[in-house]
Every structure is written in C-alpha cells, then in structure tokens.
A and B are shown apart, each in its own frame.
Chain A
C-alpha cells in the first residue's frame, strides 16, 4: 500500500494533473449538460432517475409547498406510471407551464396524491444548482489536490485529498444527478464520504496508532455499501433500504470522526495539536450550528430550510484543515472567532439600524413628500452606510471593552511598560518588570529573558512564572553549566534569530528554510525547555538578548496581536537594556579612571621610589668606592693595598647588583628605554670576547671563536649587548672546568634575516627540569665545580630582557654531562 503511495508521490505532478483535469472535465460536463434545463418545464421538484425525491430544493420550486417531501417515491404521474425519472421529466417537459399535474406518491408505504403545477426551470435555478454548486464542489476538490501537491509527504495530505475529492465530486454531481440524471458518480462516491471523515480524523491533527486498522475497517464496510448503492439504484424498493443503511453508516462515521477530533482536542496537551484540533473543532461546531436547522428542517419536518448556509459553513473546516496541513502555523483561532463574532454582531446591529431608520424615514418622508418608499429607502441606506464606519468603530470599541477586554488591555500594557521602561535604570529590576508585564498581560505560563554576556553566551537574566511557585520540574531546561542556564552563541536558534530578526514560534519550525541538523537542534531545544516562542531583542541591528516564552495559560496560540505587542515591548526593552548597560559601564569607567589615575600616581611614585632608592644606595657606594680608591693610591704597603682592593671590588660588586636590580625592575615595568642604533654585531662580539679574555687572566682561558669577518648589522644598544655577551661568557667561565673550552659562535641563519650568537661551554650541563626557569629572576644554579657564585641571579634575566627588547629570543641547549650552549637571536638589518 505504501509502495503505491510512494509511486504517487514520485509522480505527483502527473497524479495531481490527472486528478485536477478529471474534476474540471466532470464539472464542465455537468455545467454544460444542465443548460438544457433552462426554460424547460419541470415538475416543480426534483427526482432521481429511480423516481426518488432527493434532498435538492430551490425556494421557488412549488412542489414542496404543495406537500412533496424528501424521500417520496413517485409512483404515477397523472395516473400513468413512469418507468424512471427521465420518463417523468420528458413527460412534464411536454406540458404547458402552469398545468396542474397529479402525482401519486409512495411515502413510507402509504400512497398519497399531490397536485403540483408545472414550472419553468428558471435561469436562476440553473445558475445556483449548476455553476454555483459545481464550483463549490470544484473548490473543495481542488483544495485537496493543491494541499497534496504542496505537501505530499504529510500523511494528513493524503487523507485530506481523499476527503475533499469525495466531497467535491458529490457536490459537482449533485445538480446533474438529481435533474438530468447523466452523472452517477455520486452513487459510488457518497458512501465513502463518511469513512473519509473518519480517516481524516485518524491522520489529523495527530497520527493515531490504530489508524491503519480503522481505515481498513471503514473502507471495508463502505465498499460493499457503495457497490450495493450503485447496483440497487434502479430497484427502488431495495434502494430505499440501502439508502437507509447508507445514511446510518454515514451518520455513524461522522459521529466517530467527530469523537476522534474532540478526543484529539482534549487528549493532546501539546499546543500545536491542540490548536489544530481546535481549528477543526470550531469548524465542526459552526457546521453543527449551521446544519442543525437544515437537518431539523429536512429530515424531521421534511421541509428545506436554510440550505444556503451550509456550504459556507462547511467550507470552514476544509479551509482550516488545508491551511493547517500546508502552513502548520495556525492563526489564533480564538482571536479569529472573537473578531468574527464582533463583526457579525456589529453587522447585525447595523442592519437593524438600517431597517429601523429606513422605516422611520419612509414613514416620515412619505407623509411629507408622498414620494414612493423606494427613493426613501435608497436615501436612508446611503445615510446609514455613510455612518457605518464611525458607527462600526464605536461599536467595535464597546464590544472590545466589554467582551474582549484582552485586546483593549494591550494598548494599556504598552503604555504601562513604556512608563517604567524609561525610568528604571537598574538592569535586573528592569528585566523583572518587563517580564512581569508580559507574563501577566498575555497570561503566559512562564518566561525568561536571556541577555548576551561578554562570553557571548545568552544567560538567563530574569525569569517569571505565572503562579508563585515554579512547577516541580524546571520547565526551561536550557543548558546548565555551573548552576547558570544559558544558550550558546553558536546554537542555530541564536543564529536564526540574529539573521531573521523576527519572532520564532514553535509552528514556524516546519516552514523554516534551514539545514536538517539545525532544525532538529532548535526543535529539541524548544521541546525540552517548553519554550514556545522566542522573540529576539535587537539593538542597532545586533542581537543583544532573547525573550523565551512558554505556552499561554489558556492553551491558545500566540496571535499576531500578541506577537506584535511583545515585539513592540522588546524594542523598548532593547533600548532600555542598552541604556542600563551603558550606565553600568560608565560607572565602571569612572571607577576605572579613578583607579587608573591612582595607579599611575603610584607608578610614578614607584619610579621615583626606584630613583630615590638608587640614589640613596649609590651615594654611600660612591663614598665607599671613591675613598677606598683614594686610599689605595695613598698607601705604599702591599697588604694594605690588597685589602683596599678588596673593598673596591666588593663595592663594585654591590654597585653592579644595584644596577642590575634597577635594570630588571625598569625592564619589567616597561620603563626602560634604550636608544638603538645600527652597529656591527660581529665587531661587538669580537670586542666583547677580547675584553673578556683580557679580564680572565687568572684562569687563562682561551675562547674559541667562530665569527665571520664581514659586517652583520643589527639595530641595538652597544653597551647592553656588550653586557649580554659578557654575561654569557662569564657564566660559561664560571661553569667550565679548568681546561674546559668556551666557544663563541656568530652566524647568520635562515634566509639571512636572523643572527645567532651562541656561547658554549664544556661544563656539567643543566638538567632539563631546571632549564625552564634559567632566565627568570634570582635563579642560581648550584655550581658543582664549587666556585662561589658572585652573581646576583639576575644576569640571565637581564640577558633575556635586553634581547627581548631588541626583538630577539634567548635559549639554551644543554644536557647533563654534555655541557651547555646559551644562544640568542637578533633580527639582522638587510
């Protein structure tokens, strides 16, 4: 069965075209055939080919006035038995209009006679019975085809198609079948109408579990009935029986269908389903309202009453269903009903006024002018029509205030909200108030405002539940992290809202044109969190927050009025939120500015402090070193000179320490400024090594060099770079064994843009764990050679700071037992 369905879907173009063509042809056929009736004398009532009087009636037809009722069987005309309805019509057609004809009627086994004058089948009769009714039928039919064409995959489309085709065909065939008897499609089609309603109920609004079984059952019962209905048509006595069976079956099916819809309505709490069911539910109610007089009139009183209200009322249901299947985004049925009712009431009121005024004017003016009432009525109509609009507005307003307070309240809500939106600056208070307003005004279960935070997550900033205590399980299960609930920026929902800048309703999901994954994620989010509606909060074209709302307490849909109201509020909110944010930022900035200034003052103080300290340290140093030197030159005693030398050396050492400390601090504070100039790195390294060799006369170290002869120009500070090289050399020296070799290398590497200077020793090497911290302040390595380190632990730190100031890099290669290589890179000036 489903394979056939798949084939149909694949070839839906052909399928739908064929179906549509068939209907159009049948309709054209009917309309054309009916033309023959115009101006022809006919009995004044209709008969089927088997002489049964069907439920087809026009107000002008005299037969029913004269006592003919639906269900009567014509036995004889003017004493002559008629073979069938065609013979009857032919006979009557040959008579003069106005001629009285005696009809013998079999009414439930009792024979009665009625006399009915022959009538002309008027153009009006034709127009209504043929073009109008056929068009209505065509409309029903094509609606089903169109819905199926647009949404073939939705199972409800198939059920809807089935139903509308049947109803449509019935209506198309009615006129013909009951007058000229050419179209007998009706007979096969009608028995399936009842089941088609049941099937529709099984597939819409929800797919019921037992749908396939029940479908099979009802179709299984309908098939034989349809067969018999057609087969026994000409056997009038047996036809009546099958007709009764058919009626009972159809009524049962309709009742079952109604029950299923009602059940759907009460059973499903899911807003979408409820809303769809409500659509059909209301449609049904309207139909009942419209058709009850009809049923009472025709079936019980055997008189045709209010025929004309049926099709429009009936059209409500399929229209609604079709729309629902297609769009899946139902307008708020309740709002629609209330608006319609309002219109109806107003129109009725206007009509009453119209007639009343007309009557008054007629009466008054006739006495005055004596003119005919026609002119008067025209004039009064014009007057009333002119008054109609302002009248209508007044009445509408009154009705709104009295009966539909909600709509009236909306304007007040916005005004109320606007008042505090402009006055409150405290962000949280603001948001809570907004939520309160919205949740109370529209009577929503719960709502949350989520604002975009600095980490680009939309965090729940304010939340409101209608009842005081939130329901036991938290309804808004948005992703939780560390107790805070949020929606991430990358979530497709956020991206969609950012792009579309419009509200997103649960029902919009199906019509959204987004990838499958995103669709699933958004759907999951909305189902888990039970948010039904998301409104973006936009400020200057950027998404700054989201408003998430749960279902309305009444279970009704969010009408476009609701969404308009909320969206308007959100525009205001966006502005207020931004204002509140700006105020907070401003506050922070002021604080920051204050603390910045304080910091700066502190900083300056610190630099002055450093200067102070350095000054205060260096002054006594000056004295110590200075006088020690003077004294050294004054004494002749070698021992005394030796001791004085020690004093000088130590004061120099202390001075170096002070200098290093201050340098390191200045580098760290970013207060160090070195004037860089172009210099020849090769020459500088050579000179530094020379100077160093000269100074290490004790150990008589020879430094191996690998320094290119040519110039290698870098941008640097001569003294500082000298300091760097010297420091590396002295470290190598410290950690070298007596006959250890120190090697200094200078090379240009890479594409000629970098110069590498490396100082290698054959010392004990440095374990990897200790290598990380070598270039940090106050790091000293234990020297296994036992030499007391005269350094301050600042040397390498300064080396790094100086080299990094020069936009270079420092590093070390070392393994225990394999010596160490300290190196630095400097950018070469091309």
Chain B
C-alpha cells in the first residue's frame, strides 16, 4: 500500500507546491487547510507523514503537532514542519512538541522531497 502523506497549510499554492515536489515518490496525498481540519484528517486518514505548517488559523502547527504526538494512536506519525518562522524559539518549541524534522520556507523542493523520503523510510 502506498504511503499516505497529509499536507497541512492554509495556502493552496504551498500545498500544490508540496504535492508537486513529492509527486515522484508515488505517495497518496491528502490536504488540510487549518489545524482543526488537520486533526480530523489525521483521525480519518491515518497518514504516515504529515507536512505541517505552523502559522495557521484555528490551531497552529505547534498544537497540532503536540496533539498528534501525545495521542498514542497517532504518535508514530512522522511530522515534518515547514514554516517561515526561523527563530530559535521555534527550534526549542519543536523539540518540546516532538516534531521529527523542520524545513524553512522558502525551501528547495528537492530538499523537501529528500526529507519526505527520509521520513517515510524510502530508500
């Protein structure tokens, strides 16, 4: 079965870009526009990896990340955070919330692809 990737970002353009970037990986992609929707989709779809933006309405990425990781059912999901916030605080907060990796915007799509590969454990 193909891996499932959930893409969470409030910008459609960014979601499309991410989709295009990981197109070659042959994964199934799902999308969510905000934090609340993201959690619903996680419950519904049970993805293997979530590409997660931070600055979103209705629950920011940090909280989503925390909640996913704290829930034993979903704590195994690999979370890759993409965000434009680059302060150290973000790094520390990330460690606390348990995210697995981070990528800063604007990013190189190739880099994103590599990180998703890694997160999914693909060769």
Chain A residues at the B interface, C-beta cutoff of 8 Å: 611, 614-615, 617-627, 629-630, 651, 655, 659, 662, 666, 671-675
Query: Which residues of B sit under 8 angstroms from A674, Cβ to Cβ?
Result: 88
Q: List 12 A-B pairs, Cβ < 8 Å.
A: A611-B55, A614-B86, A620-B13, A625-B106, A625-B107, A626-B106, A626-B108, A626-B109, A630-B109, A662-B86, A673-B89, A674-B88
- Across-interface contacts of B21 in A (CB, < 8 A): 626, 630
CB nearest to B85 among chain A residues: A611
Chain B: CB-nearest residue to A674:
B88
Of the listed residues A619, A651, A674, the one surrounded by the most CB atoms of chain B closer than 10 A to its CB is A619
Q: Which of A617, A626, A666 has the most CB of B within 10 A?
A: A626
CB of A622 within 8 A of CB of B14, answer yes
- Chain A's nearest CB lies how many Å from the CB of B5? 17
Query: Which of A615, A621, A627, A673 lies in contact with B87, CB distance below 8 A?
Result: A673
CB distance from A628 to the nearest CB of B (A): 10
CA distance A671 to B89 in the complex (A): 10
B20 within 8 A of A: yes
Known contacts A615-B85, A622-B14; A629/B105 CB under 8 A? no
Query: Which 9 pairs, one residue from A and one from B, show the smallest C-beta to C-beta distance?
Result: A618-B84, A622-B106, A621-B106, A622-B105, A625-B106, A626-B17, A618-B105, A615-B84, A623-B13
Q: Provided the pairs A615-B55, A619-B11 are in contact, do residues A625 and B85 lie with their beta carbons within 8 angstroms? A: no
Beyond A623-B17, A625-B106, A651-B106, list 15 extra A-B contacts (CB 8 Å).
A614-B86, A615-B84, A618-B105, A618-B106, A619-B14, A619-B84, A621-B105, A622-B106, A622-B107, A625-B107, A626-B107, A671-B87, A672-B87, A673-B87, A675-B88
Nearest-neighbour CB distance to chain A for B113, whole angstroms, equals: 10
Question: In the complex the two chains form, what is the Cα distance from A622 to B13 in whole Å?
Answer: 9
| A675 closest partner in B (C-beta) | B88
Interface string of B13-56 (1 = CB under 8 A from A): 11001001100000000000000000000000000000000010
Residue of B nearest to A673 (CB): B88
Residues of B within 8 A of A630 (CB): 17, 20-21, 109
CA A626 to CA B18, docked complex, whole Å: 9
Please determine whether A624 and B20 come into contact, CB atoms closer than 8 angstroms.
Answer: no
**Contact A659-B86, Cβ < 8 Å, known A629-B108, A629-B109:** yes
Interface centre among B20, B84, B107, B110 (most CB of A within 10 A): B84
Cα separation A611 to B89 with both chains bound (whole Å)? 12
Collect the chain A residues with CB atoms within 8 Å of residue B86's CB. Answer: 614, 659, 662
How far is A321 from B85 in the complex, measured between Cα atoms in Å? Answer: 91
Which residue of A611, A618, A625, A659 has the most chain B CB atoms within 10 A of its CB atom? A618
Contact, CB under 8 Å: A627 / B17:
yes
**Contact residues, B61-88 vs A (CB, 8 A):** 84-88
Q: Which of A611, A624, A666, A672 contacts B106 (CB 8 A)?
A: A624
Q: How far is the CA of A666 from the CA of B87 in the complex (A)?
A: 9
Query: Which B-chain residue is minimally distant from A623 (CB atoms)?
Result: B13
Partner of B110, one of A622, A629, A659: A629
Question: What are the residues of chain A within 8 A of B110 when measuring CB–CB?
Answer: 629
Measured between alpha carbons, how far is A627 from B87 in the docked complex, in Å? 26
Q: Give bound CA distance, A666 to B89, whole Å.
A: 12
Alpha-carbon gap, A625 to B103, bound state (A): 14
Residue of A nearest to B11 (CB): A619
Q: Which partner residue on chain B sits nearest A616 by CB separation? A: B84
B86 to chain A, nearest CB (A): 7
The interface residues of chain B lying within 8 Å CB-to-CB of A620 are 13
A624 cross-chain contacts in B, Cβ below 8 A: 106
Q: Note all chain A residues with C-beta closer than 8 A to B91.
A: 675
Which residue from chain B places its CB closest to the CB of A655 in the assembled complex?
A: B106
Q: Bound state CA distance, A674 and B106, in angstroms?
A: 21
Q: Are B89 and A623 in contact (CB under 8 A)?
A: no
Residues of A within 8 A of B89 (CB): 673
User: Closest residue to B86 on the A side, CB-wise?
Assistant: A659
B17 CB contacts on chain A under 8 angstroms: 622-623, 626-627, 630
Alpha-carbon distance between A622 and B14 when the two chains are bound, in angstroms: 7
- A619 near B88: Cβ-Cβ < 8 Å: no
Give the shortest distance, in Å, between B38 (CB) and chain A (any CB).
17
Determine the residue in chain B with the shortest Cβ distance to A717: B88
Chain A minimum-CB-distance residue to B82: A622
- Give the chain B neighbours of A625 by CB distance below 8 A: 106-108
Shortest distance from the beta carbon of B35 to any chain A beta carbon, whole Å: 15
- Chain B contacts of A671 at CB under 8 A? 87
In angstroms, Cα B85 to Cα A617, docked, is 11
A618 to B54, CA, bound (A): 13
* Residue with the highest number of chain B CB atoms closer than 10 Å, among A622, A623, A627, A655: A622
Cβ B20 vs Cβ A623 within 8 A: no
Closest CB of chain B to A612's CB: distance in Å? Answer: 8
B2 nearest CB across to chain A (Å): 22
| Cβ-defined contact, B84 with A623, below 8 A | no
Contact residues in A for B88 (Cβ distance below 8 Å): 673-675
Chain A, residue nearest B92 (CB): A675
Chain B min CB distance to A253 (Å)? 101
Give Cα A753–Cα B21 distance, bound, in whole angstroms: 49
User: How far in angstroms is the closest Cβ of chain A from B94?
Assistant: 13
CB closest chain-B residue, reference A611: B85
In the complex, are the beta carbons of A619 and B109 less than 8 A apart?
no
Q: What separation, in Å, do the CA atoms of A490 and B17 have in the docked complex?
A: 74
* Measured CA separation A651–B14 after assembly (Å): 16
Most A C-beta atoms less than 10 A away, residue of B11, B17, B105, B106: B106
Complex: A671 Cα to B84 Cα, angstroms: 17
Assess the A619–B20 pair: CB atoms within 8 A: no
Query: CA–CA, A662 to B90, complex, Å?
Result: 15
User: Once bound together, how far apart are the Cα atoms of A473 and B91, in whole Å?
Assistant: 74
Residues of A within 8 A of B14 (CB): 619, 622-623
Shortest CB-to-CB span from A664 to chain B, Å, is 14
Q: Which residues of A contact B109 (CB under 8 A)?
A: 626, 629-630
Q: Which residue of B lies closest to A617 (CB)?
A: B84
The smallest C-beta distance from A613 to any residue of chain B, in angstroms, reads 10
User: Which partner residue on chain A sits nearest B89 by CB separation?
Assistant: A673
The reply to whether A614 and B84 form a contact with Cβ atoms under 8 Å apart is yes
How far apart are the CA atoms of A666 and B90 in the complex, in Å?
14
Residue picked from A615, A624, A651, A659, most chain B C-beta under 10 Å: A615
Tell me the minimal C-beta distance from A673 to chain B in angstroms.
5
Instruction: Give the chain B neighbours of A659 by CB distance below 8 A.
Output: 86
- For B55, the chain A residues whose CB sits under 8 A away are 611, 615
Q: In the complex, what's the smallest C-beta–C-beta distance from A654 to chain B, in angstroms?
A: 9
List the A residue with the shortest CB-CB distance to B83. Answer: A615
- List B residues 86-118 near A (Cβ within 8 Å): 86-89, 91, 105-110
Q: Complex: how many Å from CA A622 to CA B109?
A: 9
Q: In the complex, A620→B12 CA distance in Å?
A: 11
Q: Which residues of B contact A615 (CB under 8 A)?
A: 55, 84-85
| Max count, chain A CB within 10 A of own CB: residue among B13, B55, B89, B105 | B105
Tell me the nearest residue of chain A to B23, going by C-beta: A630
What's the least CB distance linking A403 to chain B, in Å?
Answer: 85
Residues of B within 8 A of A626 (CB): 17, 20-21, 106-109
CA distance A626 to B89 in the complex (A): 26
- Least CB separation from A651: chain B residue: B106
| Cα separation A663 to B20 with both chains bound (whole Å) | 31
Most chain B Cβ neighbours within 10 Å, of A624, A629, A662: A629
Closest to B110 in A: A629
Bound-state CA distance A165–B119 (Å) is 119
Contact B85 A614 (CB under 8 A): yes
Within the complex, what minimum Cβ distance (angstroms) separates B20 from chain A? 6
A672 CB contacts on chain B under 8 angstroms: 87
Contacts of B107 in A (CB 8 A): 622, 625-626
**Complex Cα gap A172–B87 (Å):** 105
- Closest residue of chain B to A652, judged by CB? B106
Residues of B within 8 A of A627 (CB): 17, 20
**CA A624 – CA B13 in complex, angstroms?**
10
| Max chain A C-beta neighbours (<10 A), residue from B20, B89, B91, B107 | B107
- Tell me, in angstroms, the Cα distance from A672 to B88 when the chains sit together: 8
Across-interface contacts of A673 in B (CB, < 8 A): 87-89
Cα separation A297 to B32 with both chains bound (whole Å): 131
Minimal Cβ-Cβ distance residue in B for A654: B106
Residues of chain A within 8 A of B20, CB atoms compared: 626-627, 630
